[in-house]
Amino acid sequence: MSEAVNFKYIGTRPVRPDGVDKVTGRANYGADANLPGMIHGVVLRSPHAHAIIKKIDLSQVRLLDGIYAAVSGNDFPEVSSGSMGGEGGGDYKDLAANIMARNKVLYHGHAVAAVAARTRELAVEALALIQVEYEILDPVMTLDAAMAEDAAILDESMFTQGVDPKPKYPSNIASRIEFKRGDIEQGFLEADIIVESEFRTPTVHQGYIEPHACLASINEGGQATLWCSTQGHFDVRAASAKVLNMDLCDIKVIPSEIGGGFGGKTVVYQEPVAILLSRISGRPVKMVMDRDEVFRASGPASASHTRVKIGARSDGTLTAMSCWMAFEAGAFKGSAIMPGAMCIFTPYKVANFYIEGFDVVVNKPKVAAYRAPGAPQAMYACESLMDELARKLEMDPLELRLVNAVEEGVQAAYGPKFNAIGFRECLEVAKQHPNYTRALKEGQGRGVAAGFWFNVGMQSSAEVHINENGTVMVIEGNPDIGGSRASMALMAAETLGVPYEKVRVVVADTENAGYTNVTGGSRVTFATGMAVIQAAQDIISQAKQRAAATWELDEDQVDWQNGHAIPMPGVNADVEPLSLARIAANSGRTGGPLLGRASLNAKGAGPGFSVNIAEVAVDRETGKTDVIGFTAIQDAGKAIHPAYVEGQLQGGAAQGIGWALNEEYIYDEKGVMQNAGFLDYRIPVASDLPKIDTHIVEVANTAHPYGVRGVGETPIVAPLAAVANAVRDAIGVRITELPLSPSRVLESIDGA
């Protein structure tokens, strides 16, 4: 598709509409909302990783001058169990218990009470007056500990799903899943060579720059307004309503600009607390996490433990792939085990595979989505072992992947048949890339890895209003994280045939936008973009009707080209083309303003494939790894705004490199996090990174009018293995646990 179509606006790189406000500091983020009479809410957090709350006494803090409200779990309504739906999944009862502990604290940092005071300083000070009696329990801090027979149990009412129909004992294993195809034993029998290893990844955080922040104000009639930084304000509305037993239509959520989310801002933490404090105090309540709270109490990505086994013929053809995967869910069930299992072997055609996965609770913060949730951990294991396989076979690692790469018509491991996909194209680009072939120096190494993410569709709404001068307003409901205002404007401009500069995109609040799922799942440009295109087509249809009425022609005698209504070829009409601006100026006389709308539950999200090439230099004396080159190649289907696709590729690489080399939650034996700050939890900074080269492959997604497939998540999937494979190449030893920190690398070198 993409090769055949000449686009006028799509594929160009105009300035983003939100750019000026963001670079000048005018843009409002979560903490920038303020109201007269506003007070400040802060949370008292558990000092213990695992304990029973025997008593909470708020009486003293409530007496303090300047304290307007104090609440604990008892002040919230009971919330019954029920699925939250959406990308994050999860259960409303768990959500409520995570927002404010009831009876038990499950991690160091778990919220147990909150106060609102005249100033934030006073509120923080006042926390000391809250008396909590705990009965301390053993903390369960690792997968091994949690899955051990004699493990302390986090939730006595939790029984493993997916094993026994009627399990007898409670367990920290929330559920077990299994995917399989073919005959796994036969597959390994057919193999000329079998490789096997196990891999571990740590708990890591998304590391968004902007902490969670909100401002809530509820009036005496029970109508609440909430400003917050979120990836999905409709989800915030639904979750807050559920946790507070309010009606959806009594909560208006206004999304701020968002200083990064990466999946972590799909979850509600403070918002219902702020509403409740506002209700009690009668004042607007602002709550802003500090960085320590973000680390200790917002959702990181699952730590994982994966055992993989791969069998192949001597020509590289895979015959069998199997794995055992366990993912940490944190304090409440619901890790990324399912999508991890959906991704791990999906890039490869293999007749026989077996995947077993476990969702395991531990005394850490409940995990949240992190960019392609589960896929980086899963594919780190698969792609590391594929690298070992190539080494054993003495095959080029890209060639090994080309031999086995999935393509159009192949059934994906997780079910559906692939439409046109660009995996092979990415591998071919990588093979030819100068960054793959240039010579390396002593102590340097190169690694490659493939990435995969299935992408999602979900529900989106869009409206298009034509101003009286013909300029275009696009109203949609996805917070703009990666430049979606620009991409929506480009798609609307392309569809309507009007200049990009004449299209303005509004990210509307829950009152003004039609229901729209979260900015996540790499769905926005695909699904919301499709809604925008359809809403623009609705406008074209009306514009043609107006032109037909003006010209006294039938509707089907009018065509739309380059932003103008024209008579269809062959229609004999002595008329001038009518521009959208002319039609808009006359719309009062032809039936009123032009309003377009579309809503959908998008199907056919095109899967995203990538290939990364990492080049590293390892200092054998210090164990420090420098990434000296990084090349991200990815199939975007069609890059609506190529600069922002490149930005996604580069950002995903940066985060993946951090995950590979440095990032991890460090806990002491009591379950207390030791590095809850950016000084000790080390994400890459600019000087840690090379220029990240990008190459966009475009194999159009046939389910989208302009060929779009999601690009936001795939970029973080391959870097973990690519970097690990490069380090292996540089030091000659395979390290099977992330991060590849200097101490661990040094240990491995010394061990070898």
- Interaction pattern, residues 328-347, with its own copies; x per rule: CB under 8 A: --------------------
Between 451 and 514, name the residue whose CB sits nearer to its own copies.
Answer: 514
In 20-164 the beta strands, taken as DSSP E runs, fall at 39-45, 51-57, 67-72, 104-105, 111-117, 131-136
| Residue 95 touching its own copies (CB under 8 A) | no
| Residue 712 touching its own copies (CB under 8 A) | no
Give CA torsion, residues 271, 276, 280, 281, to 10 deg: 0
**For residues 746 and 408, is the Cβ–Cβ distance under 8 A?**
no
Between 235 and 388, name the residue whose CB sits nearer to its own copies.
Answer: 235
In whole angstroms, the minimum distance from the beta carbon of 602 to its own copies comes to: 8
| Residue 512 touching its own copies (CB under 8 A) | yes
Among 303, 378, 403, 472, binds its own copies (CB under 8 A): 472
Angle (CA) 180-184-187 rounded to 5° is 135
Least Cα distance to 161 among 174, 146, 179, 178 occurs for 174
**For residues 329 and 302, is the Cβ–Cβ distance under 8 A?**
yes
Among 150, 156, 247, 394, binds its own copies (CB under 8 A): 247
DSSP 222-259: S-EEEEE--S-HHHHHHHHHHHHT--GGGEEEEE---S
Residue 250 DSSP code: G
| Residue 489 touching its own copies (CB under 8 A) | no
| Residue 286 touching its own copies (CB under 8 A) | no
Least Cα distance to 608 among 326, 409, 375, 380 occurs for 375
**Alpha carbon distance 305, 360 (integer Å):** 11
**For residues 224 and 215, is the Cβ–Cβ distance under 8 A?**
no
| Residue 248 touching its own copies (CB under 8 A) | yes
| Residue 463 touching its own copies (CB under 8 A) | yes
| Residue 471 touching its own copies (CB under 8 A) | yes
Strand pairing report for 503-507 and 472-476: parallel
**Alpha carbon distance 728, 389 (integer Å):** 13
**For residues 655 and 674, is the Cβ–Cβ distance under 8 A?**
no
| Residue 508 touching its own copies (CB under 8 A) | yes
In whole angstroms, the minimum distance from the beta carbon of 331 to its own copies comes to: 28
Among 598, 613, 708, 716, binds its own copies (CB under 8 A): 598
**Alpha carbon distance 189, 169 (integer Å):** 37
Of residues 521 through 550, those in contact with its own copies by CB under 8 A are: 531
| Residue 461 touching its own copies (CB under 8 A) | yes
Residue 15 DSSP code: P
Residue 512 DSSP code: T
| Residue 467 touching its own copies (CB under 8 A) | yes
| Residue 280 touching its own copies (CB under 8 A) | no
- Interaction pattern, residues 32-51, with its own copies; x per rule: CB under 8 A: --x-x---------------
| Residue 516 touching its own copies (CB under 8 A) | yes
| Residue 475 touching its own copies (CB under 8 A) | yes
Name 733's bridge partners: none
User: Of 88-96, 241-249, 359-367, 630-638, which segment contacts its own copies by CB under 8 A?
Assistant: 241-249
| Residue 14 touching its own copies (CB under 8 A) | no
| Residue 196 touching its own copies (CB under 8 A) | no
**Alpha carbon distance 582, 623 (integer Å):** 68
Between 284 and 300, name the residue whose CB sits nearer to its own copies.
Answer: 284
| Residue 601 touching its own copies (CB under 8 A) | yes
**Alpha carbon distance 151, 349 (integer Å):** 39
203's tokens: 């708990």
Residues 6 or more apart whose Cβ sits within 8 Å of residue 263: 206, 231, 368, 369, 370, 371, 373, 520
| Residue 469 touching its own copies (CB under 8 A) | yes
Map residue 443 onto helix, strand or coil: coil
**Alpha carbon distance 141, 362 (integer Å):** 6
**For residues 251 and 275, is the Cβ–Cβ distance under 8 A?**
yes
Count the site residues for its own copies by CB under 8 A.
55
| Residue 249 touching its own copies (CB under 8 A) | yes
User: Of 217-225, 394-402, 665-673, 744-752, which segment contacts its own copies by CB under 8 A?
Assistant: 217-225
Among 435, 599, 675, 702, binds its own copies (CB under 8 A): 599
| Residue 476 touching its own copies (CB under 8 A) | no
| Residue 732 touching its own copies (CB under 8 A) | no
Among 366, 465, 523, 564, binds its own copies (CB under 8 A): 465
Q: Which residues bind its own copies (CB under 8 A)?
A: 19-21, 24, 26, 34, 36, 219-221, 223, 234, 238, 247-249, 458-461, 463, 465-469, 471-473, 475, 502, 504, 506, 508, 511-516, 531, 587-589, 591-601
